[in-house]
Amino acid sequence: MMIRTRGLTRHFTRHQQTVEAVRGLDLDVREGELVAFLGPNGAGKSTTLRMLTTLIAPTSGTAEVAGYDVVRDQRDVRRSIGYVGQGNGAGHQQRGRDELVSQARSFGMSRAAARARAEELLDAFDLTEHAGRPVSTLSGGQRRRLDIAIGLVQSPRVMFLDEPSTGLDPQNRVNLQEQVRRLHHERGTTIVLTTHYLEEADAIADRVVVIDHGLVIADDTATALKSGLGDLVTLALATESDAVAAAEHGSRRLPGASVDRTGTVVRLRAPRASEAAPGLVTDLAGAGVGITRMEVASATLDDVFLDLTGRSLRESNETSTPDLEGAVA
């Protein structure tokens, strides 16, 4: 097991109030997994990552990373992991190449080995021509690539990325996701990342751990999470009586579906509802019920989050105050 936590808990005290940022997390991550912690700002994702990377100590509970205890064996944990934080790993006054060499030396590499490794990474991340410039003059995307390169210097067994794509434009975000996926496929590196972007968790992770209010509320593959919730079939009908008839036909064709009728609109949600939709259309045509509009949509992770918490993750991100993140920083 690459990561194993039991009852991992972290409290912060702020203005004489105790905030339970992470509440008794039990998590197992096998070697070679690519896991995304998904949740709104302040959910406890980053706090969890900061405990796993030895930056902060747990209030209670235990965590092991690469077989080492995050409190007792901090040095060994640090030697085993790569870390890309929310900020820039490379100092803004430094040059990219120097930072790579310095990081490699901190792992005990010889000067020659450190230089060779730096060139290798600069080349892999397409940074060679920018390596001699002060980091402050690099673009956001270049800096992020440099941060990842620094995190990879010692070819870590497990890589942690904290909100890696926050602040990047859509193009750079896609590039970054591509790099993370490649790293996972080519080297089999275990990767844990946090994100509050649904699309990101969906696009790159094998496994999505949904965290809210310091608790894991779901933990599965993105596909399983979505298919568990099922597809949404929306029918608009000419009259209300047609709508009532459509709702009846729908629950007959899709046993167990959740059916919701509002006026002349009927919403049916059930696993594999998209496959049953053509048959439903035939049923309704045979019964003389006129459909004016029809939509079939697969569930998104936002639907999953909404189903689990009653809140939309998209809206939580927009409205939540970054209270906890501030306490963590």
- The residues binding other proteins (CB under 8 A) are 50, 53-56, 75, 78-79, 81, 83, 85-95, 98-99, 102-103, 105-108, 147, 150, 329
Contact (CB, 8 A) for 256 and 268:
no
Question: DSSP letters along 92-145, please?
Answer: TTSBHHHHHHHHHHHTT--HHHHHHHHHHHHHHTT-GGGTTSBGGGS-HHHHHH
Residue 293's SS3 state is strand
Of 98 and 120, CB closest to other proteins: 98
Shortest distance in whole angstroms from residue 55 CB to other proteins:
5
User: Residue 62's beta-bridge partner residues?
Assistant: 6
Name which of 24 and 107 has its Cβ closer to other proteins. 107
Q: Closest separation between CB of residue 219 and other proteins, Å?
A: 25
Read off the tokens for 316: 């939580």
Nearer to other proteins, 90 or 218 (CB): 90
Q: How far is the CB of 102 from other proteins (least distance, A)?
A: 5
Q: Which amino acid is at 319?
A: T
Q: Among residues 1 and 329, whose Cβ is nearest to other proteins?
A: 329
**Nearest distance from C-beta of residue 90 to other proteins, angstroms:** 6
Do the beta carbons of residue 162 and residue 194 sit within 8 Å?
yes
Give the helix/strand (H/E) hosting 252. helix 240-253
In the complex, what is the shortest distance from the CB of residue 95 to other proteins, in angstroms, rounded to a whole number?
A: 7
Nearer CB in complex with other proteins: 70/273: 70
By beta-carbon proximity to other proteins, the closer residue of 85 and 230 is 85
Map residue 309 onto helix, strand or coil. Answer: helix
Least Å distance, CB 52 to other proteins, is 10
Least distance to other proteins from the beta carbon of 149, Å?
12
- Asked if residues 159 and 190 have their Cβ atoms less than 8 Å apart, the reply is yes
Q: Are 231 and 296 in contact (CB under 8 A)?
A: yes
Choice between 9 and 300, CB closer to other proteins: 9
Q: Strand, helix or coil at 315?
A: helix
Distance of alpha carbon 266 from alpha carbon 260, whole angstroms: 6
- If phi > 0 it is left, if psi is from -120 to 50 it is alpha, else beta; for residue 108 that is left
Q: State in angstroms the smallest separation of the CB of 295 from other proteins.
A: 44
Show Cβ contacts of residue 326 under 8 Å, excluding neighbours closer than 6 positions. none
Pairwise CA distance, residues 213 & 22, whole Å = 7
| Residue closer to other proteins (CB basis): 102 or 227 | 102
Helices (H) and strands (E) in the chain, counts: 13, 14
